Amino acid sequence: MAQTLIEKILAKAAGRTRVQKGEIVFVSPHRILSHDNSAAISKIFKQIGAPAVWDPKRIIIALDHAVPPPDERKALNHKIIREFVQEHNIEHFYDCGTGICHQVLPENGHVIPGTIIFGADSHTTTHGAFGAAGIPIGRTETASVWAIGKTWLKVPETIKIILTGHLKKGVYAKDVILFLIGQIGASGANYKSVEFSGDTVSRMSISERMTLCNLSAEMGAKAGMVAFDETARDWLDKRVQEDYEPLSADDNAEYEKTFEYNLEELGPQVACPHKVDNVRSIIDLPHTNIDVALLGTCTNGRLDDLKIAAKIMEGKSVAPSVRFLVYPASRSVLQDALRLGYIEKLVAAGAQLAVPSCGPCLGAYGGILAPEENCISTANRNFKGRMGCKQDTGIYLASPSTVAHSALAGHITDGARR
């Protein structure tokens, strides 16, 4: 019987030729990632009492959440992780400042198509951009995989999303995925795998595909993937040292649902407080003043995102009422953006440039909102209190272009005159 992409990946990871929907399989990941939560995971790993980690080459740790640590407790948390890394010879450890785990892994060639990437972070779905199944798991489960190298998964149903048409000027992958989340809903892909396809997706860069797959987590997806193609090959061949075997869905594979959208008329989208599926076209939004504009995160902190914003902001100034925060997704992104002059333009316009990290996205520290403040953000969640303060705050999610235009104007806008 014909199989979907996730079925093929799970079968391969389980050492089988095929799997059935609904079946439980034990699978081994190609890589397993974790971040600042690695200290807590190491504590559980000690409770389990395994003599050694399963494979020090496949366990990857990148410190990205509380970076650099703002207080003693968080600094100690990092210290515990460094000691664990030493003790267990974890080969690939990326200390503070390298970048966000979902950016650092592919940049360093750790993600290959046709495999499973487990991650102790809900946005592990990002790795679907490379035709891999990025599957998020919790801390205890990560500790268990560190010990025994495998865990169980139920073979999920797959939703196919076909996207067609050229996007209008000023409309980006972020607008596309916000639109889809609005259509499909916050639980629309719960427990399911999502395959993105169609000519719109084929034209997208790796960075844009990462945005798409990253946010499939906000539909509840177990994995969100784009099939491997020449675009992925070009990107990976510059970074990956090992051989890989891409997999693709069979033409007549069975999907639970298929959604098809022509995106030629789509305009810029905004996810309004306090749910990611509360999505509106920007033209339907009432006048909304903002206090903070955030450009960055694993969703939209890459070179093309900074480029879009820099182009919009060149020679202009951020509105006096706005704090404009820029968090590149990695050191490599920051270096490229410096070399290409994007950072110069953003800082000249009034940006507060920060160390590559998750930053204020989850309110751990830095860029926290005050009561009654609004933020326009390129991040991935707008839950109440997400950016550290719940008292009458509002987080609006949008593309880097909309964030840049809004930072200049002081209110939410895509820059178009209407």
Partner 1 sequence: MKLEGRVWIFKNDDINTDLIYPGKYTYEPLSPKEQASHAMEDYDPDFSQEIKKHDIIVTGNNFGCGSSREQAVTCLKHAGIEAIIASSFARLFYRNAINSAFAIVECPRLVESLFEKIEKTGSTRTDFLISIDLSKGRIFSESREFSFPSWDEQAVQIFKSGGLVEFTKQILRGMPS
Smallest distance from the beta carbon of 341 to partner 1, in angstroms?
34
For the chain, give the longest Cα–Cα distance. 66
Contact 38, 23 (CB under 8 A): no
Q: Which of 284, 285, 303, 287 is nearest to 295 (CA)?
A: 303
Smallest distance from the beta carbon of 379 to partner 1, in angstroms?
12
Smallest distance from the beta carbon of 229 to partner 1, in angstroms?
28
Residues at the site binding partner 1, with contacts judged by CB under 8 A: 24, 36-37, 39-40, 44, 47-51, 65-66, 73-74, 76-77, 119-122, 136-141, 143-144, 147-148, 152, 154, 186-187, 190-191, 220, 222, 275, 277, 362-365, 381, 383-386, 388, 390
CB of 165 or CB of 388, closer to partner 1: 388
Contact 208, 235 (CB under 8 A): no
- Report DSSP state, residue 142: H
Smallest distance from the beta carbon of 98 to partner 1, in angstroms?
17
CB of 377 or CB of 401, closer to partner 1: 377
Smallest distance from the beta carbon of 326 to partner 1, in angstroms?
21
CB of 306 or CB of 364, closer to partner 1: 364
CB of 210 or CB of 358, closer to partner 1: 358
CB of 222 or CB of 405, closer to partner 1: 222
Q: How far is CA 285 from the centre of its chain?
A: 26
Contact 363, 395 (CB under 8 A): no
Contact 42, 4 (CB under 8 A): no
Smallest distance from the beta carbon of 176 to partner 1, in angstroms?
21
Contact 28, 160 (CB under 8 A): no
3-state helix, strand, coil split of the chain in percent (to 5) is: 35, 20, 45
CB of 261 or CB of 365, closer to partner 1: 365
Q: Which class for 234: exposed (0-12), middle (13-18), buried (19 or more C-beta within 10 A)?
A: exposed
